[in-house]
């Protein structure tokens, strides 16, 4: 007669059930870990998006009026670029933006977009106030705007494509500076 018994003893039936439970717990732990990682990543992306969305927008005149309230917090500044004020100083683009006869000196640390070259182009800049004496077309100021991100708005495409048909393409938009108590230099 041949011995057909296994060479190794088989585990008791309870051992197999315990192994299955252990495997089930390991799978659940992996699933919970993956879900937690996805939730944390989604939360981080949401916070980053909300932080960017809460960067509020001020026109140049509003930003000057709210300077003490804004402090050194980041915000978005909107205005039109004064063409005669644009200069490059050590890789930093220095210029002024104006809105409602209020002018802000800007030091932009990143290369501006190509459309920035258009006269009186509307821009939205992201940055913060920095203390420093500057002179703008509207007078002396105690702060400038340090910018590191610029969005340029397209203006009337007819003007850009047909500049030779206009009286003075470098002139400010019609009635833009009519109420200002100062003169803005021309190119």
Q: How far apart are CA 29 and CA 22, in angstroms?
A: 11
142 shares a domain with 103? yes
155 shares a domain with 105? yes
150 shares a domain with 94? yes
Task: Answer whether residue 181 is part of any domain.
Answer: no
Which residue segment(s) compose the domain that 27 sits in? 10-54
What confidence tens digit (pLDDT) does each residue in 69-104 have? Answer: 999 899 999 999 999 899 988 889 999 999 999 999
Task: Answer whether residue 180 is part of any domain.
Answer: no
Q: How far apart are CA 48 and CA 128, in angstroms?
A: 19
153 shares a domain with 90? yes
Helix residue ranges per DSSP H, the chain: 13-53, 60-65, 67-70, 157-161
Task: Answer whether residue 176 is part of any domain.
Answer: no
The region that residue 125 occupies, defined by phi over 0 for left and psi between -120 and 50 for alpha, beta otherwise, is: beta
117 shares a domain with 85? yes
Task: Answer whether residue 187 is part of any domain.
Answer: no
> pTM of the full predicted structure?
0.66
Low-confidence winner among 9-13, 46-50, 126-130 (lowest mean pLDDT): 9-13
63 shares a domain with 38? no
139 shares a domain with 74? yes
What confidence tens digit (pLDDT) does each residue in 96-141 have? Answer: 999 999 999 999 999 888 778 888 899 999 999 999 999 999 899 9
CATH of the domain at 68: 2.40.50.140
37 shares a domain with 102? no
Task: Answer whether residue 39 is part of any domain.
Answer: yes
105 shares a domain with 32? no
Q: How far apart are CA 79 and CA 6, in angstroms?
A: 87
Task: Answer whether residue 98 is part of any domain.
Answer: yes
37 shares a domain with 50? yes
31 shares a domain with 69? no
Task: Answer whether residue 182 is part of any domain.
Answer: no
What confidence tens digit (pLDDT) does each residue in 17-40 have? Answer: 777 888 888 889 889 899 999 999
Structurally, how many domains does the chain consist of? 2
């Amino acid at each position: 007669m041949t011995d057909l018994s296994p060479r190794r003893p088989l585990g008791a039936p309870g051992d197999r059930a315990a192994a299955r439970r252990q495997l089930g717990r390991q799978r659940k732990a992996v699933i919970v870990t993956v879900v937690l990682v996805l939730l944390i990543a989604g939360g981080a992306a949401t916070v980053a998006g909300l932080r960017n969305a809460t960067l509020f927008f001020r026109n140049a005149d509003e930003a000057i009026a709210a300077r003490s309230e804004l402090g050194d917090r980041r915000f978005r500044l909107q205005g039109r670029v004064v063409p005669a004020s644009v200069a490059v100083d050590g890789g930093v683009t220095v210029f002024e933006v104006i809105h409602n006869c209020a002018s802000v000196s800007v030091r932009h640390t990143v290369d501006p977009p190509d459309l920035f070259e258009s006269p009186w182009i509307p821009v939205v800049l992201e940055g913060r106030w920095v203390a420093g004496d500057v002179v703008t077309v509207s007078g002396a100021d105690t702060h400038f705007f340090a910018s590191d991100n610029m969005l340029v708005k397209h203006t009337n495409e007819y003007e850009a494509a047909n500049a030779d048909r206009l009286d003075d393409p470098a002139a400010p938009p019609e009635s833009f500076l009519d109420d200002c108590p100062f003169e803005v230099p021309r190119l």
